[in-house]
Amino acid sequence: MKLQTHTIKPAKGSRHVVKRVGRGNASGHGTSSTRGGKGQTARSGGSRGLQMKAFKRLLQSTPKLRGFHSLATKPAEIYLDLLEKKYKAGETVDFKSLQEKHLVGKNDQTAKIIARGELSKKLIVVGIKTTKSVADKIKAVGGEVK
C-alpha cells in the first residue's frame, strides 16, 4: 500500500478509545456514572472548584512583598584610591580597562567612580559615571572626564 494522504493512520496502540459512562444501568456504568455517591465532587465542575477554593485560601495566607524593587541595574562602585593604585599617570579609565584590572565584575554592566581617597595622577575617564566631587578632583590633578 502506498503512503498517501488518505492512507495515513496512527500507529497501533497510540490512540485510546475513551470509555463512555452514564449510558444506562445495563452498561455497568449507569446511575452515578463511576462518580461515587452524592455531593460536590459528584457534580460537574465540582472537583476543580474545590482546588480553586483551596488555592484562594493559600493565596490569601501567603505574606505579600511590600515596597518597591527597581529593575534598573545598580552600577559597580569604584573608589579613587583603587584608581590611584591600579592605574599609571596618563592612562585612560574605561569600562573595559576596569574589567581587565578586575576592579569590576564580569557580570556588571555599568560603573561609577566614588570619592574615597585621594588622586595624584592625571587620568582620562571615558564613559564612566562619576560623582561631582570626583570629577572636580580629577580635573584639579589635570585629568579629563568625558
Q: What is the pLDDT of residue 114?
A: 93
Domain assignment present for residue 46? The answer is yes
Q: Judge whether residue 49 has pLDDT over 90.
A: no
pLDDT level of residue 47 (50, 70, 90 thresholds): confident
pLDDT level of residue 15 (50, 70, 90 thresholds): very high
Q: What is the pLDDT of residue 14?
A: 95
Domain assignment present for residue 51? The answer is yes
Question: What is the secondary structure of 42-103 as a DSSP string?
Answer: GSTTHHHHHHHHHHHHHHHHSPPPPS----SPPPEEEEHHHHHHH--TT-EE-HHHHHHTTS
CATH of the domain at 93: 3.100.10.10
Per residue in 58-112, pLDDT (tens digit) is 888 899 888 998 888 899 999 999 999 999 999 999 999 999 999 999 999 999 9
Q: Domain residues for 51?
A: 25-61
Q: What is the pLDDT of residue 56?
A: 82
Which three three-digit cell numbers place residue 15?
Answer: 490512540
Full-model pTM: 0.54
